[in-house]
Amino acid sequence: MASAFGRPVVKPFNNFLAETLENGGKEPDAKDRIAMAVAGDDASSKKVLAELINDAGFDTVDAGNLSESWRHQPGTPAYCTELISEESKQALADGVREEAPVKRDEAIAGLSAIKPYPSHHDVVAFARALFEKNPKFG
């Protein structure tokens, strides 16, 4: 599906924290390499992005068509949780669209209550803990 701009629209990079992007990349063979969700309707554009994501040090998980991109929005198990590929696939599948706004608001309130401002580790641990099936963050 082409956008109003006459170009494909692909959605990567929204489910990571800036700290993750800056310091979370690892070599391709690392067993704990974090996966980034990518949604879009154009397979060739997703392939190009997968190469860029790999170069940045992350695995790619196909999150489906653009209409499924809500699965890696705030309030879902795949958002800011630094999961590896298999965990990320499960988190994308576990998302419940109707629950996402409630979980998003719960996360904002909970993180806002942490004083001093939560660290990167605190944010990831909190985001994972919102969802029972997500592995705990060590």
130: amino acid identity, one letter: L
Residue with tokens 């170069």: 55
Closest by CA to 135, choosing from 78, 93, 54, is 78
CB atoms within 10 A of CB 15: 30
pLDDT at 4 over 80: no
- pLDDT on residue 14: 92
SS3 content of the chain, % helix, strand, coil (to 5): 45, 10, 40
- Reading the block at residue 79, the tokens are 């958002």
- pLDDT on residue 2: 52
pLDDT at 3 over 70: no
In angstroms, rounded to a whole number, what is the distance separating the alpha carbons of residues 69 and 8? 14
- pLDDT on residue 7: 86
pLDDT in tens, 38-84: 999 999 999 999 999 999 999 999 999 999 999 999 999 999 999 99
Percent over 90 (pLDDT), the chain: 91
Q: Per the omega criterion (within 30 degrees of 0), is the bond before 118 cis?
A: no
pLDDT-derived band at 138 (thresholds 50, 70, 90) equals confident
Q: Which residues pair with 109 in a beta bridge?
A: none
pLDDT at 1 over 60: no
- Domain range summary for the chain, segments of one domain joined by +: 10-129
In angstroms, rounded to a whole number, what is the distance separating the alpha carbons of residues 130 and 133? 9
